[in-house]
């Protein structure tokens, strides 16, 4: 019974974390498609999720990203809004 309650609580906390996506606007300083990492000029490092297009990302481009913070503290991008 205890194991079941612990597992249920763990799953609930894990799903709650992903429900609180954040948005951030910034200017790209560097992009590394091989590692799927992106650096903003303010020093913030993001990991871009598989399935999120990176082809148009380049230094100097101002974008808005939606991201979740992983359990290890990584900012994982789930959506990118390019300038119109």
**pLDDT classification of 20: cutoffs 50, 70, 90:** confident
SS (H, E, C) 8-66: HHHHHHHHHHHCCCEEEEEEEEEEECCCCEEEECCCCEEEECCCCCCCCCCCCCEEEEE
Query: So where are the chain's domains?
Result: 22-81
CATH class of 22-81: mainly beta
pLDDT (mean) for 32-57: 97
pLDDT digits (tens, 9 = 90+) for 22-32: 999 999 999 99
Single pTM value for the model: 0.75
pLDDT (mean) for 3-32: 68
pLDDT (mean) for 48-70: 97
């Amino acid at each position: 019974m205890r194991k079941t309650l612990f597992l249920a609580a763990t799953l609930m906390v894990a799903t709650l974390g992903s429900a609180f996506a954040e948005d951030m606007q910034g200017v790209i300083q560097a992009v590394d498609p091989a590692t799927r990492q992106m650096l903003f000029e303010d020093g913030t490092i993001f990991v871009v999720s598989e399935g999120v297009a990176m082809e148009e990302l380049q230094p100097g481009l101002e974008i808005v990203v939606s991201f979740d913070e992983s359990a290890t503290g990584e900012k994982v991008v789930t959506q990118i809004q390019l300038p119109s």
